[in-house]
Structure 1
Amino acid sequence: MKIAIDSYCYHRYFGEVYPNLEQAPDHQMSLDDFVARARAHGVQGVSIESFMLDDSSPQNLERLRGLLDAAQLELVWAWGHPHGLGSGARPDELADLIRNVDIAKALGAEVMRICAGGRLTRPESWDEHKSKLVPLLREAAAYAADQGIVLAMENHVDLLAAEVLELLDAVNSPALGVCLDTANNLRMFEDPMLAIEMLAPHAKATHIKDICAFRGSPREFGFWPSVPLGEGLIDIPRTLQLLRSHGFNGLLALEIDYLHPAHGTEEEAIAKSLAFMRSVLADHRSATHA
């Protein structure tokens, strides 16, 4: 398993600021800046959000791939934030998903995270939800398989853990697995460790994220802010142990979305989180060799 950063940790610097929760920063970042930050943090990989790419020309993709190769950073390409396929209600987005499979391939990624929906797109009927999604996911997985790419569908506050497994079973393709977000199912009032135990065997990518309860309504996003790893409600050491036990050898991509205001800057939270992850992995190695 390789320690990594998801570019969404810097979402404010790419123009996505949560209304009434965050303030816009005094400057913007480019993907070149993000790669430089990742190098400075000494990680082994990055997950890059597709909405942060402002130039998908072949020349720019070749340049970005060269930058990642020079930094020796493994890549997961990430498509679909915030609404993805709209929980099946946005079939027109399939074309953009497929376009991004080609981008992932051009950048040298072997895994592409996708969102089937988001926290605002989930319909009331699971039967309707599933029936609309499955054909789209089948077509996407078939195309990805032809390109040598594995799609990793995130539990994106749109799917309960058992529903994710139902979709995987219905599509039944080795080109479709899971991007395991460690915190999102708590935001849906599921036991987070039970969700992690269910999804870890199918993980092809991860968002390693910790959250806590804050203020307001637990049905609102702002109630569940991100905190540095090890300081919230998610059992990160147990999560990493489960991933290892199921043979996961991909990127442990730190993700911070809305950062709890008591926990400083993004850079401070990232540094604390990466130090915690390194410590946990070192403990696991020591226990293995004891």
Structure 2
Amino acid sequence: MSVRTGGRIGVGTYAYFWRHSSRVARPLTIEEMIDDAVGLGAEVFQICDYPAVADLAPERLDALAARARGAGIELELGTRGVEPAHLDRYLELAVRLGATLVRTMLTGGTAEATEQLAGVLPRYSAAGVTIALETYERVATHDLVGLVERIGHPNLGICLDPANCVAGLEHPDRVIDAAAAHVVNLHVKDFAFSRDEGWVGFRLAGSPLGEGRLDLDRLLDRVRPAERGINQIIEHWLPWQGDEARTVALEDRWTRDNLAYLRRRQ
């Protein structure tokens, strides 16, 4: 059985979004991303929206788990959807990797999701793994919180990412306040608006942590991640910078700087 720890600061695959993508000449492997995170002093690495992990051979999964254990870094998983067969597969992966949290996102209605989640949660509970439903624009935060409260299972909570909900016309501060009591995982990324060329519309994109619209003080004060044992995962919305060299360099700098900034603010 996995034993959940929590309260750690780390990074996830979204902090390496371009460096492991097909846009670069040699994409980073999952092992290289974990090694880089270890080198940065990260305490947790979230393999999030990285479908290739589900196709890795058992021997490679075991090697990943051993690699993380040896480096003293905790692993988490992230996917999308709540179909029972899919969540069961990610539970298998979590157990194999020693991960105690699987972040996912609703892709359908909350009524159907309630039944699906209620069916798989006993298996997650038996394995000591928690499901974290992420806040994002397709599901109103009020509805997501309502689903979690209706099910009322200790192995179900919310992965809070206030930036996602801006596209659903929800104010990030209100998202933080509504979800805070049920948070079991944090995605920490800053964001800002800028005028499009010709002042026709706006663009919402990432920014270095502390330079955008995220009220990090409010987030930390309301959620109290260190006190409650909630892991904090650095992510980015970094636009492509025109070429590989500039994009890779800036992504690396954001990852390092944002991780250091979050540590200082604890």
* TM-score range for the pair, normalised by the shorter chain length: 0.7 to 0.9
Which residue among 14, 17, 26 is the counterpart of 1:11?
17
Structure 2 Cα separation of the partners of residues 132 and 250 of structure 1 = 28
Q: Cα offset for 1:143?
A: 2.4
- For residue 234 of structure 1, give the secondary structure of its aligned residue in structure 2: coil
Q: Indicate if the aligned counterparts of 2:106 and 2:113 stay in contact, CA closer than 8 A.
A: yes
Q: Identify which range, 192-201 or 65-74, moves more after superposition.
A: 192-201
The aligned counterpart of 1:280 is 265
Shift of 1:76: 1.5
Unaligned runs of 5+ in 2: 1-6
Whichever residue aligns with residue 96 of structure 2, its letter is A
Matches within 5 A, 1:68-147: 68-80=68-80, 84-85=81-82, 93-117=83-107, 129-147=109-127
1:215 Cα deviation from its structure 2 partner: 4.1
Measure how far apart 1:246 and its partner are.
8.8
1:245: Cα distance to partner? 7.2
| 1:150-165 equivalent positions in 2, closer than 5 A | 150-165=130-145
Q: Quick one: distance in 2 between partners of 1:72 and 1:99? A: 25
- Alignment counterpart, residue 267 of structure 1, candidates 237, 247, 252: 252
5 Å-filtered alignment, 1:1-290, equals 1-15=7-21, 24-49=23-48, 50-53=50-53, 55-80=55-80, 84-85=81-82, 93-117=83-107, 129-216=109-196, 223-244=203-224, 247-259=227-239, 261=241, 265-281=250-266
TM-score normalised per structure 2: 0.85
- In structure 1, how many angstroms separate the alpha carbons of the residues matched to 2:157 and 2:224? 16
1:51 Cα deviation (Å)?
Answer: 1.4
Structure-2 residue corresponding to 1:126: none
Could you report, residue by residue, the CA deviation over 1:111-133 in whole angstroms, capped at 9, with x for unpaired residues? 1111112xxxx6xxxxxx22222
- Give the share of equivalent positions with the same residue, in percent: 24
More deviation in 271-280 or 47-56?
47-56
Q: Is the 8 A contact 2:238 2:251 kept in 1?
A: no
2: distance between equivalents of 1:146 and 1:158? Answer: 30
Task: Determine the C-alpha separation between the residues in 2 that align with 1:164 and 1:247.
Answer: 24
Task: Count residues with an aligned counterpart.
Answer: 250
For residues 201 and 131 of structure 1, the distance between their equivalents in structure 2, rounded to whole angstroms, comes to 22
Task: Give ranges in structure 1 of 5+ residues lacking alignment.
Answer: 17-23, 86-92, 123-128, 282-290
Counterpart Cα distance in 2 of 1:45 and 1:28:
21
Give me the CA root mean square deviation. 2.4
Matched to 1:74, the amino acid is E
Q: CA-to-partner distance for each residue in 1:53-75, whole Å, 9 max, x for gaps?
A: 26433211111000000111112
TM-score (norm 1): 0.79
Q: Report if aligned partners of 1:44, 1:72 keep a CA contact under 8 Å in 2.
A: yes
Whether contact under 8 Å (2:37, 2:45) holds in the other structure is yes
Given that 1:225 and 1:260 are in contact with CA atoms closer than 8 Å, whether structure 2 keeps it comes out as no
